[in-house]
Chain A
Amino acid sequence: MKKKVLSLLLVGAMLGATLTGCGGSGTTDNSASNAPATDNAPAADTSTNAPADTSADAPAGDQTLTVWCWDPAFNMNAMYEAEKVYQKDHPDFSLNVIETPWEDVQTKLTTAATSGDLSTLPDIFLMQDNAFQKNVISFPDAVVDLTNSGVDFSQFAAGKVAYSVIDGKNYGVPFDNGAVIGCYRTDLLEQAGLTIDDFTDITFDQYVENGKKVLDATGKPLLSMQAGECDLLMMMMQSAGSSLFNEDGSANIVGNETLKTVMETYKQLRDAGVLIEVNSWDEYVGSIVSGDVAGTINGCWIMASIQTAEDQKGNWAVTNMPSLVGVAGATNYSNNGGSSWAVSANCQNTELAFDFLASTFAGSTELYDNILSSGALATWAPAGDSDAYSVPNDFFGGDAVSAKIVEYSTKVPSNITGVYYYEGRDAVATAITNYINGADLETEMQGAADTVNFNMQ
């Protein structure tokens, strides 16, 4: 390793004097779980990072787990509450929660796994459900199989668990609920002579009719969506249990009648003025909180953003989403977003991590009661039976929204995410943009299929 010696010499000569102080403080700050692995890393190749080998090195008394997640008010808060719950029986236990935005989790995971040095990874991290298939298949050595970890996966909503199952093995403990809800401004509906019941268990045809009435009466569209993002398309697809991929992983785009109906429905909504496209996420949230639209359709986590519009308190109501017309298996239920906990292969004490997850996120109604106020709705069935879920929510007209959403989530059809989910999504986003600007639908679907197939080569 001449190179290394040279570079060390160079660094020593150039920076020695200036850096000793700071370098020292930087290295001693390492979290406990990282330190042993960093020392092993140069000698170890990818295979020796497997949990079975490294867990032997773990100090027996170490009861600390490092966790990456990204929202202080939401999933970080959930982790802190879980820590409290677990500490009751394990007083020595502690968590080191590091705020890490999802994109950075993905970048760090990719970098570490590709380099074969997993020592920078934490013990547990939160992963977007849509990214599970991709990451587990790309980096099978980076995450731990949880099938026999003691977590009872049958108690979670089946559609939710399916995101993190690869080759029949469980890789994620489900966390937040992404069940799709339709949210409506009842005060605006009233001006059009409608109530929330006119939007419950309806089809998209009825939705368009209602939307036109609302538009005539108030001048406001029913729905805003971010142009170039196909969230709504994906929600519609899943509501009929369909996806862009087949069981064997191949693209299911050309000749996919559900996709065709979805794209036509989207164009119909837009052409009728019921749906308005906005440029960005900020503008989307802005259109809701500033009262430019009479409602929205999204994952139930959108409620937290809606509730920042304090002046609209009591004027909102929640129901299920419209269903597709003329599609087999169409329902009023779908899912958008959501995430699950994964255990990294860098975890030195997998026993502890398993037990922690099994007795909190997969075993404590108390935890779910405590985090309900932050908007974290469970996909763990026993939690939904808790009294806390039937407490009325004044912002949404005194409705017991939480119980409603838990019920929705059990009805969501599961579908195939696909390893190439993001490729498929972007290709369809391009297709829908061209289609609503006048291009031929069949041609665009073929184009999307070509792009996806090219990426799968």
Chain B
Amino acid sequence: MSNSSKKLTLDKKQNLTGWIFLAPGALLIFFMSFVPMFRALILSFKSGTGAALNWCGISNYTRMFQDSVFIQSIKNTFFYLIIQVPLMLIFALILASILNNKDLRFKGLFRTMIFLPCATSLVAYAVIFRSLFANNGIINLILVKLGILSQPYAFLTNTWSARIVIIIALLWRWTGYNMVFYLSALQNIEYSVYEAAKIDGASPIQTFFKITVPLLKPTILLTAIMSTNGTLQLFDESVNLTDGGPANASITMSHYIYNISFKYVPKFGYAAAMSFLILILVAILAFLQMKVGDKRD
């Protein structure tokens, strides 16, 4: 045995070390995610009420395309995705680079304040947003006082305004969260790089696009995949702010899946099938993002 181990080249040994390092994490994910996922996949080919299930082929998958509420939920979710994720990431990036400024005062205070929204518990944030956008809430009060509206507007019960409130809520809650990753990644860029750029006469905007963005590429990729995934699985805001309304205008895919599993007469096979559609959609998007962003230079 000792004989053979001596024969291992350095490369092979390192390769093995790598596997040992990643084994605990990878195995845990295998058992905690892939095993249940596989069981859910089997479930997606079954149908029936409650706990009594029978094989039904791919009927759960064909059913989705006749389900008008589910189709509506896909449209809503993609609307959130397209508008909210780019806005949020750009905004987070700008905030992070401002807060990374060496000469800025009260940095710690600003950072904490901007991070706080994502630490705020969901319950509080839902109550607060509902009251802000209520018919007699502050937003309406201000808009009426300024003469922009002649009478209060029911933000949460009109189709487009309900969707926009959800996007605003998401931006509010998650921008600081993403900023944290950019801030921590910015530490890996040496400050001398910025000094050099400054001496070369680069404007802050040029520095941002020519230095900050390229060097943060791995982190931007991470946050982009995370946010895409988070938005496609969006649940809390739909449930707590608008309850999917008005008339399903703001319901998300996960919210509908939850209803099918727990609110309505449970159809777990169908819920699992819809979940796999989400999986496929996220996987495609993540794959595209990886293709664009995960090159080792």
Contacts and interface: CB of A to CB of B under 8 A. Distances in A.
A282 B130 contact: yes
Contact of B31 (A10, A286, A429): A10
A283 B135 CA distance: 8
Interface string B256-272: 00010111111010000
B68 A451 contact: yes
Contacts of B154: 227, 277, 279
A28 interface: no
B247 A279 contact: no
B135 A279 contact: yes
B22 to A, nearest CB: 13
Contacts of A276: 135
Contacts of B63: 457
Contacts of A106: 262-263
Contacts of A227: 154, 156-157, 245-246
A430 B134 contact: no
Contacts of B35: 3
Interface stretch (A134-142, A258-266, A362-370): A134-142
A135 to B, nearest CB: 8
B14 interface: no
A433 B246 contact: yes
Given A110-B266, A138-B49, A139-B50, A14 B24 contact: yes
A283 B243 CA distance: 14
Contact of A114 (B133, B247, B266): B266
A357 B181 CA distance: 56
A419 interface: yes
B28 A433 contact: no
Contacts of A282: 127, 130-131, 134
Interface of B: 24, 27-28, 31, 35, 49-51, 63, 66-69, 127, 130-131, 133-136, 154-157, 243, 245-248, 259, 261-266, 268
A228 interface: yes
Given A113-B50, A451-B69, A228 B134 contact: no
Interface string A120-147: 0000000000000010011101000000
Interface in A93-113: 103, 106-107, 110, 113
B31 A7 contact: yes
Contacts, number: 105
Contacts of B261: 110
A423 B28 CA distance: 38
A434 interface: yes
Given A279-B133, A422-B263, A422-B264, A228 B157 contact: yes
A207 B182 CA distance: 60
A430 B268 CA distance: 24
Given A422-B263, A454-B66, A138 B130 contact: no
Contact of A279 (B27, B134, B263, B264): B134
A27 interface: no
Contacts of B136: 292
A280 interface: yes
Given A107-B262, A278-B134, A114 B28 contact: no
A239 to B, nearest CB: 25
Contacts of B266: 110, 114, 138
Given A7-B31, A279-B157, A422-B264, A137 B50 contact: yes
A277 B31 CA distance: 49
A86 interface: no
Contacts of A422: 259, 263-264
A51 interface: no
A211 interface: no
Nearest to A450: B68
Most B Cβ at <10 Å: residue of A137, A283, A292:
A283
A279 B49 contact: no
Given A227-B157, A277-B157, A279-B155, A116 B51 contact: yes
A46 interface: yes
8 contacts: A3-B35, A116-B51, A137-B49, A277-B157, A282-B131, A422-B259, A433-B246, A454-B68
A429 B130 contact: no
Contacts of A419: 265
